[in-house]
Structure 1
């Protein structure tokens, strides 16, 4: 192993600190939209993430909503995700899917 490679290994991790999104316990309905929180675990924190859908099986539209915010608690993450998803729906409505 070269000198530079050994220094690089001190500052990088061989394991990924980001895991796949987790599906929350339940979805909520808001103004004909369905918000399904999917917090993403990153290290010891959770990134705000959800799936926002609207429509029926024939014409289902979906949008993956991911924020830069991270929090320590999974429950707090779910609460904040729902609140921010509602704000996005209020501001953008059906334009979320464009």
Structure 2
């Protein structure tokens, strides 16, 4: 069973990392870089409550950066630009 547990991730506990969101024009931006090969892929979520329902737009970019901090900052800037360009249409 040990081999299959490792292969399929059974019995493995994963810790959910609590990310503090950044508020921008009524949207909550959650930078969530993905560690990959010693670098960090730009990723995250944009959330907004619309008509009493929390809507979420998740994205992952192809960009890789050397530090987690840089990936978080770049994600914030990209998310702000995306919000400006698409607004609530991102949730359709």
Which category describes the TM-score, using the shorter chain as reference length?
Answer: 0.7 to 0.9
Structure 1: 5+ residue runs without aligned partners? Answer: 1-19
Over 4 Å off, 4+ runs: 22-25
Deviation at 1:24, TM superposition (A): 6.7
> Which entry has the higher C-alpha Rg, 1 or 2?
1
The answer as to whether partners of 2:19 and 2:32 remain within 8 angstroms in 1 is no
**1:82 alignment partner in structure 2:** 76
- Mapped to 2, the partners of 1:23 and 1:87 lie a distance apart of 25
Q: TM-score, length-normalised on structure 2? A: 0.76
SS of the residue corresponding to residue 28 of structure 2 reads: strand
Structure 2: 5+ residue runs without aligned partners? Answer: 1-13
Deviations 1:8-42 (A, max 9, x none): xxxxxxxxxxxx9x857421000110000110011
Count of residues in correspondence between the two structures: 78
